[in-house]
Amino acid sequence: MDIPQFRDMTREAYFAQLTAMTKHVREDMDRMQQDGWHGTNANDPDTRCCRFCSAIIRLRFAYREEFRQEDLTPVQMKALYADANNIFLAGLLRTRLGSCVSMPLIYLVIGQRLGLPVHLVTLGKHYFIRWEETGYRMNIETTSVEKIAMTPDDSVYLDVEGMTHDQSTGNQLRNLTNREVVGNLFFTRSAYWATKGPEHTAQQCADLSRARQLAPDDPAIKATLQAVFNSYGIQPDNTSIDISPKLPAGVHHE
């Protein structure tokens, strides 16, 4: 609601869309089970994973072609983050068009609502989804909108980002916790504010601090916060932002 482009979107409308989509995915997966699509064993993790991915693809989201290439120029990066519709789940719901920043979120949110073992994963400038349960681990490329794209091999993403395993540090390539997911959402919003000019510097810095608190092992968040705060002569390690709910005077936490 802090983002101007979404001020006309109510919480009720937002969650109603997600609820309807979750219902659609559940029913689609049930039909696949009845038809025996991709096997007949509903407990087989590969079967469940493929059915889930197929059901999400059938929601008919599309990828923004102008941001498909791997190495975006600074101008393209600014254009990506300047338009909130490109990077937030609310924008994906509204336009049906997304990027590697927003599209994994529909998998994550609907998958968690269905109790499925899906996790957000980050590496470099890219986000993707991982399905992981006992004896089964599969990476899902959510920007593929015409067919299922999965691989158990992390090196595929390392190659795309031009990185080695040794260069993958902190929480990169591991399943993010829910706190770290929220931290990355604040990180995304800080990048949005950065495109809006110096009058939004305070909002950018506040969101970076929140991101750092929630995802302290994220190297991209740490590096960005350090660079931005250094440019303003602030020591990030001595800066904290209270992200607890603000209470009226005289009211205290118990």
Helices and strands counted in the chain (H then E):
10, 6
Over 70: is that where the pLDDT of 118 sits? yes
Residue 141, SS3?
coil
Query: At which residue do the structure tokens 């158990």 appear?
Result: 152
Query: At which residue do the structure tokens 């997600």 appear?
Result: 18
Instruction: Note the pLDDT tens digit of each residue in 58-111.
Output: 999 999 888 877 678 889 899 999 999 999 999 999 999 999 999 999 999 999
Instruction: Note the pLDDT tens digit of each residue in 3-39.
Output: 999 999 999 999 999 999 999 999 999 999 999 999 9
CA pair distance 144, 58, nearest whole angstrom:
12
pLDDT given at position 247: 41
Over 60: is that where the pLDDT of 243 sits? no
pLDDT given at position 124: 87
Over 60: is that where the pLDDT of 248 sits? no
Residues with Cβ < 8 Å from 219, sequence gap 6 or more? 169, 170, 172
Residue boundaries of the structural domains of the chain: 4-167, 178-238
Which of 232, 75, 59 shows the shortest CA–CA distance to 142? 59
Query: In this structure, are residues 214 and 204 in contact, taking their beta carbons and an 8 Å threshold?
Result: no
